[in-house]
Chains A and B, each alone.
Chain A
Amino acid sequence: MTTLTNLSKTIRQNRSVVLAYVAMFVLLAAVSIYRPGFGLGDPRHLRALLLQAAVIGLASMGQTLVIISGGADLSLPWTLTGAAIMMTIFTQGDNAAMAWAIPLVLAGCAVVGLLNGLGVTVLGVAPMIMTLAMNYILLGLIAGIGMGGVGTMGRYGQPPEFILAVGSENIGEIPYLIIVWLVLSVILTILLGRTGLGRRIYAVGTSQTVSQFSGVNVRSTLILVYVLSSVLNGLAGILLAGKFGRAYLGMGDPYLFISVAAVIIGGASILGGKGSYVGTVGGAMLLAVLLSLLPVLNMPRPFQLIIYGLVVLLAVFFSSSRLGSSRT
């Protein structure tokens, strides 16, 4: 009995997360009935869906942390692109070079995150502006080096075999990428839910003033959040280069909107203090199902954008309707 009340309490507390998953399953069931052979009817289609969700989910890891801390990471697109391109340039398809190239690239991402964090905390620039400016800076730097400097005109060689294998091959029937995503999801969920850092991130996102007076080092927490976010975005870039088989300028651009959408659909508040990676996973899967729905229903691609927008609005509306005047 107590477990049941506990369960219903958990559901009530995480209404928007539950809603994202329920909506995803309802849509999936609807597709499976409407078009047998799609969705639940075909394991291969399910696997493709999961893979699509993994791509969205991987690109939303850093965004989840930053949004919970009360900011938004608009430097995601070019951190992701930059990591992917630098990794390919450094390794030139050589597996052995990965040993130094990947740590170097991720360290570069950490510097980007550090600069974001210092801008937000020390200079006091609003997160949205600081990360937006950083996105411009990275765009200029990478496009400048990639197009003007090295003179490769967008050809950066191939990602190493290992990264390609992780991005596109299966172990048994399950793609490596999904396994990597699963492992990272568990790590992130533990980080947010079970560690002191996780609690500090929620605290800072809820109220910086109260956190400060409660003995939380707001400055170091925020800097760490931005460093983690950039490193995770860089990691996503490297993995996506493996999935797409190459790195290219602008490869990160679609993920700015999608990552924010996945995090918000997953029940996070853009004002901070609320959200979870489990929610983001739900949001990513819902977006992946929606994405696959359109060709099935013979809807042209533009509807994808219209539906994305409506789904985000609906998600925000549902998650906030009970809270009355509080903004989400």
Chain B
Amino acid sequence: MTSSPATLDTGRARTTRYPVRRRVNIYDLIPLILFLVLVGLIFIIKPRLLNFNFIVVKSNAGLTMVLATIGQSLVLLSGGIDLSIGGVISLSNSLAATQMAADPGSILLWTVLILGIGLLVGIVNGYVVAVLRVAPFIATLASWSILNGLALLVLDDPGGKVAKPLKDLVRSDPLGIPNSLLVIFLLIVLWLIFKRTRIATQIYAVGSDDARSYVNGVNVIRIQILAYALSGFFAALAGIYRTVEIGLGSPIAGDPFILTSAAAALVGGIALGGGRGDLINAILGAFIMLFIFDLITFAGISSFYTPLVQGIFLVAAVSLNRVGYRARIRRALEQ
């Protein structure tokens, strides 16, 4: 593991901030390049898609994945992995489709409740990982199983429906652009602000080396619990949005997102093991995974081959990231 970033600023007392020389690293741009290449290819194959509607459709279709990937990325940055995302999405999707009545009061109540459940699940995950010291892979795999069971108790077959006012609200576009796109922009802005806070630095630090973070005064347990709690919250949000998008609930709605959320984050340059990566690239990673599907379909190849290409992208992206990381270390050592 590497040492913590130079700006690690966790002490209560005044500490010196060392200026970090920012140099654009070509490897940080890999997700953006992949994203642009895929979009370019799609437009070359289907030039008539080149319009505003394409952005509307894609941001609507991609938001669930983006939300799941953001939660997963925060946990990955802190050095863990969250497989319970699938369970949270399934449970919140099932609850939203069966419990929400078509009046604003019920919608508000259940939205708050579902987000609370997501937070609670995340806190429990974080507690099991940080305090009971169970490996994240096992802890969250177990909670995925439990949550899937609960989702099946709520809804044993795909069914239920989305509350109409909720759908109307989500699908409205008061600013002329779709709400989903607005949410993605908002999340990027929030991330840019959050990234400069002490807590974000601590998440990176814990992901880089939890022992050194601890001796430098980081409350490692609190930071890990926070990362899982945020992941649970975003997964719950993804589950509610999924209900609007699909229009019904399913007790296994979240399963496809367990591993694809991790894959998207990794394609977006987040390092398994933590400490490296950026959420904006992870969001691009989510869209890269979606565009692979589009490209294959538009190219007239059976969509069943999508996972094949996604898998190759995953290995390639992770290998490239490793090469980039090594190059950076080498350059740092030479200076």
Using CB atoms and an 8 Å cutoff, list the residues of chain A in contact with chain B. 72, 74, 119, 123-126, 128-130, 132-137, 139-141, 143-144, 146-149, 257, 260-261, 264, 269-271, 300-310, 312-313, 316-317, 320, 325-328
B135 proximal to A (CB < 8 A)? yes
Contact residues of A: prevailing secondary structure: helix
In the complex, which of the residues B133, B146, B263, B304 has the most CB atoms of chain A within 10 Å of its own CB atom? B304
- The contact of B319 among A125, A134, A305, by CB within 8 Å, is A125
- The contact of A148 among B146, B263, B304, by CB within 8 Å, is B304
Task: Give chain A nearest CB distance to B98 CB in angstroms.
Answer: 14
B273 proximal to A (CB < 8 A)? yes
What's the count of A-B pairs with C-beta under 8 Å?
Answer: 151
Report Cα–Cα, A185/B70, bound state, in Å: 43
Which chain A positions have C-beta within 8 A of B135? 269-271, 316, 327-328
Of B13-21, B42-50, B147-155, B240-248, the one touching chain A: B147-155
A-B contact pairs, 11 of them (CB 8 A): A123-B318, A129-B262, A136-B263, A136-B310, A139-B307, A140-B309, A144-B305, A302-B148, A309-B143, A309-B146, A309-B149
Closest B residue to A130 using CB positions: B315
Is A129 a contact partner of B272 (Cβ separation < 8 A)? Answer: yes
Which chain A positions have C-beta within 8 A of B322? 123-125
B117 proximal to A (CB < 8 A)? no
Closest B residue to A74 using CB positions: B259
Which chain A positions have C-beta within 8 A of B128? 313
Is A136 a contact partner of B311 (Cβ separation < 8 A)? Answer: yes
Is B259 a contact partner of A144 (Cβ separation < 8 A)? Answer: no
B19-44 vs A: 1/0 string, CB under 8 Å? 00000000000000000000000000
**With A133-B263, A264-B138: A140-B305 Cβ-Cβ less than 8 Å:** yes
B310-328 vs A: 1/0 string, CB under 8 Å? 1110110011001000000
- The contact of A309 among B142, B259, B304, B310, by CB within 8 Å, is B142
Report Cα–Cα, A129/B315, bound state, in Å: 8
Is B150 a contact partner of A302 (Cβ separation < 8 A)? Answer: yes
Other 15 A-B pairs with CB < 8 A, given A146-B304, A264-B138: A119-B315, A123-B315, A129-B262, A129-B263, A130-B315, A132-B263, A133-B314, A134-B311, A136-B263, A139-B308, A141-B305, A143-B305, A144-B302, A269-B135, A317-B134
Is B305 a contact partner of A129 (Cβ separation < 8 A)? Answer: no
Which chain B positions have C-beta within 8 A of A320? 133-134
Which 8 pairs show the lowest CB-CB distances between chains A and B?
Answer: A140-B308, A148-B302, A136-B311, A305-B149, A309-B145, A302-B152, A306-B149, A309-B146
B144 proximal to A (CB < 8 A)? yes
Closest A residue to B310 using CB positions: A136
B99 proximal to A (CB < 8 A)? no
Which chain A positions have C-beta within 8 A of B307? 136-137, 139-140, 143
Report Cα–Cα, A144/B304, bound state, in Å: 5
Is A305 a contact partner of B262 (Cβ separation < 8 A)? Answer: no
Which chain A positions have C-beta within 8 A of B185? none
Is A129 a contact partner of B314 (Cβ separation < 8 A)? Answer: yes
Closest B residue to A326 using CB positions: B133
Is B134 a contact partner of A305 (Cβ separation < 8 A)? Answer: no
Is A305 a contact partner of B145 (Cβ separation < 8 A)? Answer: yes
Report Cα–Cα, A132/B137, bound state, in Å: 13
- The contact of B134 among A137, A148, A308, A327, by CB within 8 Å, is A327
Which chain B positions have C-beta within 8 A of A119? 315
Task: Give chain A nearest CB distance to B144 CB in angstroms.
Answer: 7
Report Cα–Cα, A164/B266, bound state, in Å: 42
Which chain B positions have C-beta within 8 A of A301? 152
Report Cα–Cα, A272/B138, bound state, in Å: 13
Is B138 a contact partner of A306 (Cβ separation < 8 A)? Answer: no
In the complex, which of the residues A130, A261, A309 has the most CB atoms of chain B within 10 Å of its own CB atom? A309
- The contact of A137 among B133, B150, B156, B311, by CB within 8 Å, is B311
Which chain B positions have C-beta within 8 A of A304? 149
Task: Give chain A nearest CB distance to B1 CB in angstroms.
Answer: 13
Closest B residue to A301 using CB positions: B152
Report Cα–Cα, A72/B137, bound state, in Å: 10
- The contact of A132 among B142, B259, B305, by CB within 8 Å, is B259
Task: Give chain A nearest CB distance to B54 CB in angstroms.
Answer: 25
Closest B residue to A75 using CB positions: B311
Task: Give chain B nearest CB distance to A232 CB in angstroms.
Answer: 21
Which chain A positions have C-beta within 8 A of B304? 140, 143-144, 146-148
Task: Give chain B nearest CB distance to A125 CB in angstroms.
Answer: 5
**With A143-B307, A144-B305, A148-B305: A312-B133 Cβ-Cβ less than 8 Å:** no
Report Cα–Cα, A270/B137, bound state, in Å: 8
Which chain A positions have C-beta within 8 A of B237? none
Which chain B positions have C-beta within 8 A of A300? 152-153, 156
Is B144 a contact partner of A309 (Cβ separation < 8 A)? Answer: yes
Which chain A positions have C-beta within 8 A of B152? 300-302, 305
Task: Give chain A nearest CB distance to B91 CB in angstroms.
Answer: 11
Task: Give chain B nearest CB distance to A82 CB in angstroms.
Answer: 12
Closest A residue to B321 using CB positions: A125
Which chain B positions have C-beta within 8 A of A327? 133-135
Task: Give chain B nearest CB distance to A101 CB in angstroms.
Answer: 23
Is A306 a contact partner of B305 (Cβ separation < 8 A)? Answer: no
Which chain B positions have C-beta within 8 A of A264? 138
Task: Give chain A nearest CB distance to B228 CB in angstroms.
Answer: 15
Which chain B positions have C-beta within 8 A of A328? 134-135, 138
